[in-house]
Structure 1
Amino acid sequence: MSGVRATGDWDGTGLAHEGFAFGTDQELVERVVPFAVEGLSRGEPVLVVAGERVRTLLAQELGRDVGRLAAFTAADTWWQGGHRTLHAYDRDLRALHAVAPHWRLAAEPTWLARDDGQEWSRFEAVANRCYASLPYYSLCLHDRRRLPASVLDAVARTHPLTWGGSAPVPEPAYEDPERFLRSVHPAWSPRPARATVAALTTPREARRAVSAAALDWWPARAGEVVQAAHELVVNALRVAAFAEVSSWTDGDRLVVEVADSGPGLPDETLGYVPPPDGPDGARGMWLAWSLADDAAVDSHPAGTAIRLFFHR
């Protein structure tokens, strides 16, 4: 297609993150093929990770150029659950960054069509912050025929760019990552009167208190509950003299809340950001989030409260 600028003004020095929602096979081909061909002509590694139908269409159009792609992979082999998938994705990105000055990725997160995969929208939001300095163009493919309206709405809110017909343009619905996360976290309601509450000064005390609640609720998940709460208490005691730990059941969920009177979180996205390698990496919130089924944050300059939700 003449006049198409597949990556617009992207200069290869940082992240460009586009959400492309297509309704026909032709729309897909006309967007992705120029994107891949342009990258190959510039000597950039081009990676394609997509469902079977998308890969079949692209293979037909690209012909022998498929063999020049740095990756041409089935998307379903990537999904390991939100945190595990992002951890593997992060590892691959860092490895690629070590050998390539810039690259481009066309990826179809097929798991967004599944109930257990829709949390990926949160990681898409956080990517705009934690990968801002990585030099790649991420073209995220979303089939309007397969995805519910709520997922497509999240696509617009988590991608700074959309396709304008001949070049990428700013997406007007895009939101700051923290604002998006707050909108999709479980609603924050007052702690119920029946909750068990304790002010604790050591992680050991927290493990003992949370273990009792978890064993009474569902012993099979006691280890996960205790470990997740332990991580948050360690963080809380770094900024306050004590941590207030509470727990209660809400239907088939156990809720564990860890609160402190510290200065507030510097970044509410930390639970979704892969920790850096090495012993000094800040892993507490990441580990707690990965063990729980959901989480919510209430943070301000007078303190922070984090709730973890565990399902039976």
Structure 2
Amino acid sequence: MTLMRPTGSWDGTRLAHEGFVFADDARLVERVVPFVLEGFRRDEPVLVVAGNRVRSLLAAHLGADLGRLAAFDAAETFWRGGHGTLHAYARDLRDLRRRAPSWRLAAEPVWLAREKGREWSRFEAVANSCLDDVPYYSLCLHDARQVPADVLADVARSHPLTWDGTAPVPQPAYEDPAAVVRALQPPWTDRPGAAAVTPVTTPVAARRRLAAAVPAGHRARRDDVVAAGHELVVNALRVAPWAGLATWTDGDVLVVEVSDDGPGLADQTQGYVPPDPEKGPRGMWLAWSLADDAAVRTGPAGTAVRLFFGA
């Protein structure tokens, strides 16, 4: 008889991050119900945040034990864009840490099935580093009947653990978070010839240039464009005597590029990582969160960041 180990050798001191892909209801129940019941036996808070179908299945199989869950919430209400969702997630984890030494979460990011929710794969990857010291087991549920195959491939790249039928095991396709971010960010294409780079030496000059460059179709986003570009220019001027500023449109998307000839970013994931509420820094996080998306190229010869703003 094979003994199932729902969390393997996890000792409750650090993050364990598993991507579980299922294609039928029975496989889901066989994985999640023992995971939940083990948490009850260990007196760990158990949280479930999932779509309606998953919650209905679990409710039917847990019966009276359903009331023992610390949370049983609809995932459909949690999506606030990548930055907003991770920021709220990190805040909730900080609160939990004050109340429990360790806990476990079964979560279904249902938004990955939608085009605008696919950016979450980058944030899932970054969570491996920025939440590494948080003592909980995160069992991420992905329905292969709903989530596209290419997104499921990204799930494998962003989760260190997978399920072998009896215990969590290392995911062979897992990649370093920075590599996942580079691979999944918007493609870096050549700048249009008409998009000349203007050197700026002060944040004030950058704000004026940006405010004047916002086209009529993007006037509603002008404050976001100026504030986000300002943050990037401030960062650039910390490592170089001037920053390069360029703007152009690509269809209905306004692109803002800020570049410098500094030493390059030491951490390419920092625009994705929620800032420490007391210490920061928060400049790149703020810039990323104000834009619809972002891409970066960095190395010893300098850094260029592009922010994308829809109309």
Bin of the TM-score, shorter chain as denominator length:
over 0.9
Distance 2:81 2:187 in 1: 23
Q: Report the equivalent of 1:83.
A: 83
Unaligned 5+ segments in structure 1 are none
Letter in 2 for 1:7: T
Q: Report the equivalent of 1:300.
A: 299
Q: Report the equivalent of 2:229.
A: 229
Q: How far off is 1:263 after superposition?
A: 1.5
Q: Report the equivalent of 2:177.
A: 177
Letter in 2 for 1:289: W
Q: Report the equivalent of 2:149.
A: 149
> Aligned pair in 2 of structure 1 residues 122, 76: CA closer, same or farther (>3 Å)?
same
Q: Report the equivalent of 1:17.
A: 17
- 1:197 correspondence with 2:197: yes
SS of equivalent to 1:98: helix
SS of equivalent to 1:93: helix
Distance 1:216 1:262 in 2: 33
- 1:131 correspondence with 2:131: yes
SS of equivalent to 1:259: strand
SS of equivalent to 2:156: helix
Q: Report the equivalent of 2:67.
A: 67
Instruction: Pick which of 95-104 and 246-255 moved more.
Output: 246-255
Letter in 2 for 1:151: V
Distance 1:155 1:57 in 2: 23
Letter in 2 for 1:164: D
Query: Given that residues 19 and 141 in structure 1 are in contact (C-alpha distance below 8 angstroms), is that contact kept between their aligned partners in structure 2?
Result: yes
Q: How far off is 1:4 after superposition?
A: 0.4
> Aligned pair in 2 of structure 1 residues 223, 196: CA closer, same or farther (>3 Å)?
farther
SS of equivalent to 2:244: strand
Distance 2:246 2:215 in 1: 15
Instruction: Pick which of 249-258 and 10-19 moved more.
Output: 249-258
Q: How far off is 1:223 after superposition?
A: 1.0
Aligned residues: 311
Letter in 2 for 1:301: P
Letter in 1 for 2:138: S
Query: Given that residues 19 and 161 in structure 1 are in contact (C-alpha distance below 8 angstroms), is that contact kept between their aligned partners in structure 2?
Result: yes
Distance 2:29 2:253 in 1: 44
Letter in 1 for 2:241: A
Query: Given that residues 196 and 248 in structure 1 are in contact (C-alpha distance below 8 angstroms), is that contact kept between their aligned partners in structure 2?
Result: no
Distance 2:254 2:74 in 1: 36
Q: How far off is 1:194 after superposition?
A: 0.4
Q: Report the equivalent of 1:281.
A: 280
Distance 1:143 1:191 in 2: 39
Q: How far off is 1:13 after superposition?
A: 1.1
Please list the CA deviations of residues 112-134 of structure 1 after superposition, one character each: whole Å capped at 9, or x if unmatched.
Answer: 11111111111111101101111
Letter in 1 for 2:252: D
SS of equivalent to 2:232: helix
Q: Report the equivalent of 2:31.
A: 31
Please list the CA deviations of residues 63-90 of structure 1 after superposition, one character each: whole Å capped at 9, or x if unmatched.
Answer: 1111111101111121122211111111
Distance 1:201 1:217 in 2: 28
Q: Give % identity.
A: 66
Distance 2:63 2:71 in 1: 15
Instruction: Pick which of 187-196 and 128-137 moved more.
Output: 187-196
Unaligned 5+ segments in structure 2 are none
SS of equivalent to 1:44: coil
TM-score (norm 2): 0.97
SS of equivalent to 1:180: helix
SS of equivalent to 1:305: strand
Letter in 1 for 2:26: Q
CA RMSD of aligned residues (A): 1.3
TM-score (norm 1): 0.97
- 1:51 correspondence with 2:51: yes
Query: Given that residues 270 and 284 in structure 2 are in contact (C-alpha distance below 8 angstroms), is that contact kept between their aligned partners in structure 1?
Result: yes
Q: How far off is 1:249 after superposition?
A: 1.5
Q: How far off is 1:253 after superposition?
A: 1.5
Please list the CA deviations of residues 185-227 of structure 1 after superposition, one character each: whole Å capped at 9, or x if unmatched.
Answer: 1222232220032111111100011111114552111111111
SS of equivalent to 2:246: strand
SS of equivalent to 1:196: coil
Please list the CA deviations of residues 155-184 of structure 1 after superposition, one character each: whole Å capped at 9, or x if unmatched.
Answer: 111111000000001111111111111111
